[in-house]
Structure 1
């Protein structure tokens, strides 16, 4: 039996990582780590009270409390909406609609990854769906037109992560549920940081095009204003869906769950209008959404159980006291946590990163005086960074499967956009009102 909570915390999380490295499902790994912690701890239970009874009580309570939330229903609905859009002609419409408007900007069509990902992120909620859907169209087209393959891949890797920041965001929904933070406020808080990040990407692309002109083709592709305005017909359906889904949340007319249901209906209608919807596509999208939502829910349940175990064993209190005893300034605490998240992002996917660390980290953040709303945005940035860090950067896998390029080539192409993301995180940390201004304004 282990009586020291600090030693117990190290033991529990070591066991958890061993389970994860063994290939066990993430949800099972989290539950197994919690069970191991209960069995190893010196609980001093009353006579006749079995440790397995306590484990069962904690497991049942955590499972019920973590999924008994109306807000959680927004998760499968947004996943389903993204799947429907992923399998219809929305990405084609985005490309055709954006081309006439971007050809005169320094960097020309290299900006299309940033703009298309920003727009698609606002209706999909998923980084993987954003990267895969936009990449299937833009990578081949940019290559055919003579654009730098390195810049095309790097900008897609960076911009694809906007699916987590620009609302609606699956990570924000999960964070809101686990931290008891308003999901609507998180959505609103992600707007300015998301636009700042997208603007940073476009600024870098334009600067590179000016300094290194050969990354774009020399021939000019001209469009008349009449052609530009006609292209708005391709953008209008997507812009309308964004306005309906997000406008209802921002104006207070709909909850995130209601907006997600409207988004599913809108995605279905767009598929019908574009004549790309079929029973096969609908069925594939539905089953994919079910699989993804079930996987995420199972991880949430496992994380909730581990969170209860961590609290019950006093691990959270011990670690919080340990950090407090270090007398770190709030910004030094954020710096250390940022390094920790970058390291963990090399090993874990984004959802696991949130659900596994939040029970430990959130009490420290609150004790340091940070807003849980701001920390939610910070955490989304950390998840975005994890998408493009080896060896478990999911966006890297998506790009490799689409481009068939070496991982080293993709990582080199992605690195400048990784740096831009780090700079944006620093700005949002030093100036938290970037994330907090709009939610506070909307509340006021």
Structure 2
């Protein structure tokens, strides 16, 4: 059978299996095993356990559960509420200070936790009621938190970037640095839109809040500064040549647990057990997907599907930006239905040879891919962040949350366009800190 036709059949079968309700990892194993049995016979299954566990035999994977523990220990405390309150006290007299506080808190908390749902829940529980009480439109209040929660998969340290680095054998340190400026760019675009939408509403009273004394501003800082120092310390240890990403993640996780216990009195064995239980559950889920994706990639390569697709695209007489546009559409649609980790592990091995052949930087492409995944988090039908916000504020209709988040989707699309026009936004900092790649 023609490998391209076989690839189309595999794609359809994968979609059908994943939409049947089985987990992503199990679905990938079912599809991989089924096609290998049909085309290579039962003996091909003998290699699958070795491929599955071989994919997990990577020292860099240790950083995933460590960063997850780091985020879970923060999410289990009042750190999100304190972070929001600290920014609100310092920015209250700035025009639009409340919405800026929410977006800033989302950016910082998502960078610490690396979890979009956790960010939406932690900041939304405080931010949405306060914004509604001040008279902000429901769409602005809900949409800004939903969009702000997506920043965690781009701003380092990012589990998504770690997964991309492992899947494509790309430097995780470079990927972290590549996400800094685009992440700040997105924060700026989000804030600019929020201020504009608030101003357009015509109620200038929304633009400023109550005033706080300097004492009130300073007394909140000891609760949040230690977490910010941990982030800076992790990044310094990584880029200062002191430790590897896995080692810095382990130290960061331990320090976050200690701070959660000292500052937030997280002494209860039950509370600590919940942190470790939830971290283990999420880590196993991601690692299971990584192993299953390795088997899926082996199946595609064994049946010459990956090679044939790359060769076919290489023969297309199209402008490379047209090709990149098609890749973006594919990623966007995939992100509507699948979690970011699954999309990266399934698509990156196929797309990487294509984009490098077309002359695109794989580090730059990682940022483009991640922003596409962010769009998927606030877009139906899956749109995980939309449902998290709806659970926090059930009286705000899902349609209102969606309408409020759509302008932020536009901001992300604008960020992708700017990155295409100025790729140095993603590559300048990695080249400055770690040297130019040859």
For normalisation by structure 2, the TM-score amounts to: 0.95
Question: Where do 1:364-403 residues align within 5 Å?
Answer: 364-403=354-393
Report the CA distance between 1:210 and its aligned residue.
Answer: 2.7
1:396/1:410 contact within 8 Å kept: yes
Question: Where do 1:43-442 residues align within 5 Å?
Answer: 43=40, 51-57=41-47, 59-214=48-203, 217=206, 220-277=209-266, 278-404=268-394, 405-442=396-433
Give the 3-state SS of the residue equivalent to 1:346 in structure 2.
Answer: helix
1:217-249 deviation digits (Å, cap 9, x = unpaired) = 477411344543444334322221221222212
> Structure 1 pair 388/219, CA: closer, same or farther in 2 (3 Å)?
closer
Give, in whole Å, the separation in 2 of the partners of 1:12 and 1:216: 57
Report the CA distance between 1:115 and its aligned residue.
Answer: 0.5
The alignment's C-alpha RMSD in Å is 1.7
> Structure 1 pair 442/414, CA: closer, same or farther in 2 (3 Å)?
same
1:131-178 deviation digits (Å, cap 9, x = unpaired) = 222212222232333332211111111111001000111111111111
Q: Which segment is superposed worse, 285-294 or 234-243? A: 234-243
> Structure 1 pair 267/215, CA: closer, same or farther in 2 (3 Å)?
farther
Structure 1 unaligned residues grouped into runs of 5+? 44-50
> Structure 1 pair 382/170, CA: closer, same or farther in 2 (3 Å)?
same
For 1:24, the equivalent position in structure 2 comes to: 22
1:352-387 deviation digits (Å, cap 9, x = unpaired) = 211122222122112112122111111111111110
Give, in whole Å, the separation in 1 of the partners of 2:420 and 2:411: 14
1:105/1:206 contact within 8 Å kept: no
- Aligned structure 1 segments of 4 or more residues deviating by more than 4 angstroms: none
**Number of residue pairs matched?**
433
Give the 3-state SS of the residue equivalent to 2:203 in structure 1.
Answer: helix
For normalisation by structure 1, the TM-score amounts to: 0.93
1:173-213 deviation digits (Å, cap 9, x = unpaired) = 11111100111111111100100000111111222233324
Q: Which segment is superposed worse, 358-367 or 18-27? A: 358-367
Give, in whole Å, the separation in 2 of the partners of 1:316 and 1:428: 28
> Structure 1 pair 390/228, CA: closer, same or farther in 2 (3 Å)?
same
> Structure 1 pair 145/281, CA: closer, same or farther in 2 (3 Å)?
farther
Report the CA distance between 1:68 and its aligned residue.
Answer: 0.5
Give, in whole Å, the separation in 2 of the partners of 1:345 and 1:275: 36
> Structure 1 pair 216/397, CA: closer, same or farther in 2 (3 Å)?
farther
Report the CA distance between 1:22 and its aligned residue.
Answer: 0.8
Structure 2 unaligned residues grouped into runs of 5+? none
Report the CA distance between 1:434 and its aligned residue.
Answer: 0.6
Give, in whole Å, the separation in 2 of the partners of 1:218 and 1:204: 13
Give the 3-state SS of the residue equivalent to 1:146 in structure 2.
Answer: coil
Question: Where do 1:29-48 residues align within 5 Å?
Answer: 29-41=27-39, 43=40
> Structure 1 pair 4/215, CA: closer, same or farther in 2 (3 Å)?
farther
Give the 3-state SS of the residue equivalent to 1:222 in structure 2.
Answer: coil
Give, in whole Å, the separation in 1 of the partners of 2:315 and 2:362: 22
Q: Which segment is superposed worse, 282-291 or 397-406? A: 397-406
1:248/1:254 contact within 8 Å kept: yes
Give, in whole Å, the separation in 2 of the partners of 1:255 and 1:148: 45
Give, in whole Å, the separation in 2 of the partners of 1:297 and 1:218: 45
1:97/1:233 contact within 8 Å kept: no
2:79/2:224 contact within 8 Å kept: no
1:316/1:363 contact within 8 Å kept: no
2:84/2:102 contact within 8 Å kept: no
Give the 3-state SS of the residue equivalent to 1:252 in structure 2.
Answer: coil
1:98/1:231 contact within 8 Å kept: no
1:11-53 deviation digits (Å, cap 9, x = unpaired) = 1111111111111121111111112222343x5xxxxxxx222
Give the 3-state SS of the residue equivalent to 1:161 in structure 2.
Answer: helix
